[in-house]
A and B are shown apart, each in its own frame.
Chain A
Amino acid sequence: MSAKGTRDAYGEWLKENGADKKIVVVDADLSASTRTNKFSPDYPERFFDVGAAEQNLVAFAAGLSLGGKKVFASSFAYFETGRAWDQIRNLVAHDKLDVQLVASHGGLSCASDGASHQALEDLAITRVIPNLKVLVPCDAEETKHALDAVMKIKGPTYMRLRREKEPILEKSYEYKLGKTAKMQEGSDITLTAIGSQVNFAVEAAKILSGEGVNAEVLNVHTLKPLDRDTLVASAKKTGRVLTTEQHQVNGGLGGAVAEVLAEEYPTPMKIMGVKNTFSETARKQSELIAHHGLTAEHIAEAARVLIKKTRK
């Protein structure tokens, strides 16, 4: 299994597609980290570094889009959403501007920098904004598919990427924005995952399979608009839904799934994420994933508990 960072895929994609003169890239003093520096040397006239100023990043991007450009604006996921929420809501989303907010260092992937840098609330605060699509590719390959997809449409998107190298997953589906992907079919429980947790959900399904449990794994690469049909159909089939995300348990994937199921097909759930707490420093992301109980083994164990509680 090969490995690559989703941010690295973004940098490669910008370089591969940079000749398109519609594209303008804006960064906020993190271009080496977000990988927009793969674009800037070839196209300096279409690259803007606004400095450490995230509100300006988003508002300036809004202006470039009003000037007719397809704008990619990048920073760390926490700073871009947390520090510039007003500009995302009132400018980019309200006016349906063609601005792609592609942010790196999502979830626990910014482990060593500690709590101030870790985006654990970004999905909650972006998915409540009307008109804004929220995309979280599961790996580097899917990142490029998502970027290709946003090139074909107009309007605002928040795309959460990550710092670390991650495995490229085996997939049998064709990426379609807005369509939840099935990593594998199953009938006993639905493991619903987002971003880098998709890999752990797939691994958990393998563990469970050894115990005779047949898990369905859903990859919610599009958190908004959420594919209600696929989710409800899976819940009807399995009768149990577990969600896993590197995000607070409130307001993220778990919340989004619960909102749909509560209305359409109330289903026993387990929401796995960071449990209403700030995270902390670790030299390895894997230490934080273990600390917050989000490894494949943790998911498998939570699945066993949910199955036991809801035995038919």
Chain B
Amino acid sequence: MNKKLTVPELEALSKKTRAHLLKMIHDAKSGHPGGSLSSVEIMLSLYFNVMNRDPADPEYDRFVLSKGHSAPLFYTVLMEAGYIPESVNNLREYGSILQGHPDAMKTKGVELSSGSLGNGLSVAAGIAAAAKIDGKKTRVYCLLGDGECDEGLVWEAAMMAPSRKLDNLTAIVDRNMLQIDGCTEDVVCLEPFPDKWRAFNWNVVECDGHSYTELLDAFKQASEHKGQPTVIVAHTTKGKGVSFMENNVGFHGKAPNDEELEKALSELGEA
């Protein structure tokens, strides 16, 4: 459960992960491919290199998926990590443990139910604060979407976490520039986005969210930074890895049909 992969191993796993989550969404005939594909490298870095996930260690690291619509990616990662049997293949089906959005009551490895946007960072801050009270080495990671940052609660949490010096908290924003109604800058302007976090007293690290080398370096900087929480603004491409899904807002919440899946898998070399 706690294996650490090298960059080449992670890169190999990226394609397999993309193919798997697309198959899940295709079979369910609904789900969110765009924001799942953009977060692949972030999630795989966390689960297979950065986080201490030793279940026997009371100071294990915690993960909160605030952008709950990346559930197909989350489930794929939890399968690869051994929390969910790989045989489970019924996303969004009646009775499935793989709910449309993550459900902590049904799925092992899901710490917090999510789906209603904007809640995760505040919860992650609470987990980080509890760890501080107990003097634990636990680090807490929270993955947010950029469109999600329209939610006011994100900024309530963003104000509070530095004031409590929660340097055991790392937020990662999947900055793919697209939300349901279009470009984030056209819907409600988020920029200057990193500066907003800086103004809220966060340690800000920007990186290419599809480069494992850059991501792992960003996580290292986050873990070494003292006195402030860190936000990693990970610049990504929505729909990454599948040409006709990239930067295409139409695939925010639409399943690929048979033909599209076949094409996607062939592009990923996983046909």
A56 within 8 A of partner (CB) = yes
Cβ contact within 8 Å between B104 and A95: yes
Cβ contact within 8 Å between B133 and A66: no
Least CB separation from B111: chain A residue: A66
Least CB separation from A69: chain B residue: B130
Tell me which of B62, B119, B157, B160 contacts A90 (CB under 8 A).
B119
Cβ contact within 8 Å between B122 and A55: yes
Cβ contact within 8 Å between B159 and A51: yes
A53 within 8 A of partner (CB) = yes
> CB-defined interface of A250-292 with B at 8 Å, one 1/0 digit per residue?
0000000000000000000000000000000000000000000
Cβ contact within 8 Å between B133 and A50: no
Which residues of B sit under 8 angstroms from A86, Cβ to Cβ?
Answer: 116, 119
Which residues of A sit under 8 angstroms from B183, Cβ to Cβ?
Answer: none
Cβ contact within 8 Å between A90 and B133: no
A66/B123 contact (C-beta < 8 A), A51-B160, A53-B156, A56-B156 known: yes
CB distance from B111 to the nearest CB of A (A): 6
Which residues of A sit under 8 angstroms from B123, Cβ to Cβ?
Answer: 59-60, 62-63, 66, 91
Cβ contact within 8 Å between A69 and B119: no
A223 within 8 A of partner (CB) = no
> CB-defined interface of B68-104 with A at 8 Å, one 1/0 digit per residue?
0000000000000000000000000000000000011
Least CB separation from B114: chain A residue: A90
Which residues of A sit under 8 angstroms from B103, Cβ to Cβ?
Answer: 94
B164 within 8 A of partner (CB) = yes
B153 within 8 A of partner (CB) = yes
B112 within 8 A of partner (CB) = yes
B115 within 8 A of partner (CB) = yes
Which residues of B sit under 8 angstroms from A210, Cβ to Cβ?
Answer: none
Residues 59-114 of A at the B interface (beta carbon under 8 Å):
59-69, 86-87, 90-91, 94-96
Q: Of residues B103, B123, B126, B157, which shows the largest number of chain A Cβ atoms within 10 Å of its Cβ?
A: B126
Cβ contact within 8 Å between B126 and A67: yes
Which residues of B sit under 8 angstroms from A62, Cβ to Cβ?
Answer: 112, 119, 122-123, 126
Cβ contact within 8 Å between B125 and A63: yes
Cβ contact within 8 Å between A63 and B153: no
A62 and B160 alpha carbons, distance in the complex (Å)? 15
Tell me which of A59, A65, A68, A91 contacts B157 (CB under 8 A).
A59
Cβ contact within 8 Å between A95 and B152: no
B127 within 8 A of partner (CB) = yes
Cβ contact within 8 Å between A64 and B126: yes
Tell me which of A53, A66, A69, A90 contacts B116 (CB under 8 A).
A90
A13 within 8 A of partner (CB) = no
Which residues of A sit under 8 angstroms from B124, Cβ to Cβ?
Answer: 63
Which residues of B sit under 8 angstroms from A56, Cβ to Cβ?
Answer: 122, 153, 156-157, 160
Cβ contact within 8 Å between A48 and B129: yes
Least CB separation from A90: chain B residue: B116
A95/B130 contact (C-beta < 8 A), A63-B124, A87-B119 known: no
Tell me which of A55, A68, A94, A96 contacts B153 (CB under 8 A).
A55
A228 within 8 A of partner (CB) = no
A91/B112 contact (C-beta < 8 A), A63-B128, A64-B127, A69-B130 known: yes
B134 within 8 A of partner (CB) = yes
A64 and B130 alpha carbons, distance in the complex (Å)? 5
Which residues of B sit under 8 angstroms from A50, Cβ to Cβ?
Answer: 156, 160
A91 and B101 alpha carbons, distance in the complex (Å)? 13
Cβ contact within 8 Å between A95 and B105: yes
B10 within 8 A of partner (CB) = no
Which residues of A sit under 8 angstroms from B113, Cβ to Cβ?
Answer: 90-91, 94-95
A68/B126 contact (C-beta < 8 A), A53-B160, A56-B156, A94-B113 known: no
A4 within 8 A of partner (CB) = no
CB distance from A55 to the nearest CB of B (A): 4
A45 within 8 A of partner (CB) = yes
A198 and B125 alpha carbons, distance in the complex (Å)? 40
B149 within 8 A of partner (CB) = no
CB distance from A148 to the nearest CB of B (A): 23
Task: Identify the A interface with B (CB < 8 A).
Answer: 24, 45-46, 48, 50-51, 53, 55-56, 59-69, 86-87, 90-91, 94-96
22 contacts between A and B (CB under 8 A): A51-B159, A51-B160, A55-B156, A56-B157, A60-B123, A60-B157, A62-B126, A63-B122, A63-B124, A63-B127, A63-B129, A66-B111, A66-B127, A67-B126, A67-B129, A67-B130, A67-B131, A67-B134, A69-B133, A94-B103, A94-B113, A96-B105
